[in-house]
Amino acid sequence: MASNKTAQLKKIRDEIWNLGDSSLYKYRKQNKYFPVIGEGDHNAKIIFIGEAPGQKEAETGKPFCGAAGKILDELIEFIGLKRGDVYITNVVKDRPPNNRDPNQVEIDLYSPFLERQIEIIQPEVIATLGRFSTKFILEKFDMPEKNQSITLLHGKVLDAIAKYGPIKIVPLYHPAVALYNANSRKVLEEDFNILRESA
Ligand code: URA
């Protein structure tokens, strides 16, 4: 029988599949895209949170399965873990047209699903990927650092309190930065080492 966590996560999946009042839902249907709910260990210690699915993700329904995803997989392996050991998701679950930033209406519509995913999985560490999800999570937990830039915050381990207990928040650069800037790969590796020590 499916665990309680699996059943609750499946309910979220079903709700997002049928989210007909989202403008991104229309875009999903027109393009025969999938929503990207999240995947990984339902008991993961670490949850990675990105921004929103790109084209490849929307075509497959899998988070981080394109070029940035390849780098994320390598970084996860670099710290001795496998993709299946963690949980990977995004703030917004449908692809915005032309990879534009999600707008506030979309964030307000999709973020309650992310909040429920966090409360079901109960990770010890929330690793945010990029400025967008970092801002969302730091605001959600009303952190004093919420107005600081990712340039200052990346690789820091912040203590926060979730409904289910104490957690760590570790802001990271989005893995896509390593596609355009070779030096950022090194910084990401250093920050992933810090993430490993925090978990
Ligand atoms: N970028 C993101 O933020 N999320 C994905 O799932 C893929 C690329």
Buried b (16+ CB within 10 A) or exposed e, 95-130: bbeeeeebeeebbebbbebbeebbebbbbebbbbbb
Question: What is the C-alpha to C-alpha distance for residues 167 and 161, in angstroms, rounded to an integer?
Answer: 6
Q: Check residue 170 and give left, alpha or beta (phi > 0: left; psi -120 to 50: alpha).
A: beta
Q: What are phi and psi of 43, to 5 degrees?
A: -115, 25
Ligand 1: centre distance to CA 90 (Å)? 7
Instruction: Let me know if 20 is exposed, middle or buried by CB neighbors in 10 A (0-12, 13-18, 19+).
Output: exposed
Residue 95 has what DSSP assignment? P
Asked whether 9 lines ligand 1 (CB < 6 A), one says no
CATH number of the domain residue 35 falls in = 3.40.470.10
Question: What is the C-alpha to C-alpha distance for residues 199 and 197, in angstroms, rounded to an integer?
Answer: 6
Q: Mention every residue, 6+ apart, whose C-beta is less than 8 A from residue 80.
A: 196
Question: Are 95 and 28 within 8 A, CB to CB?
Answer: yes
Domain extent at residue 44: 2-198
Q: Count other C-beta atoms under 10 Å from residue 80's C-beta.
A: 8
39, 51, 117, 172: residue to mutate for ligand 1 pocket, most atoms within 8 A of CB: 51
Residue closest via CA to ligand 1's atom 7 equals 64
User: What does each of the 199 residues of the chain score in pLDDT, given as a tens digit?
Assistant: 568 999 999 999 999 999 998 889 999 999 999 999 999 999 999 999 999 999 999 999 999 999 999 999 999 999 999 999 999 999 999 999 998 999 999 999 999 999 999 999 999 999 999 999 999 999 999 999 999 999 999 999 999 999 999 999 999 999 999 998 889 999 999 999 999 999 8
Question: What is the C-alpha to C-alpha distance for residues 105 and 39, in angstroms, rounded to an integer?
Answer: 24
pLDDT at 175: 98
pLDDT at 24: 96
Ligand 1: centre distance to CA 95 (Å)? 9
Q: Check residue 155 and give left, alpha or beta (phi > 0: left; psi -120 to 50: alpha).
A: left
Asked whether 39 lines ligand 1 (CB < 6 A), one says no
Asked whether 38 lines ligand 1 (CB < 6 A), one says no
Domain count of the fold of the chain: 1
Question: What is the C-alpha to C-alpha distance for residues 125 and 184, in angstroms, rounded to an integer?
Answer: 22
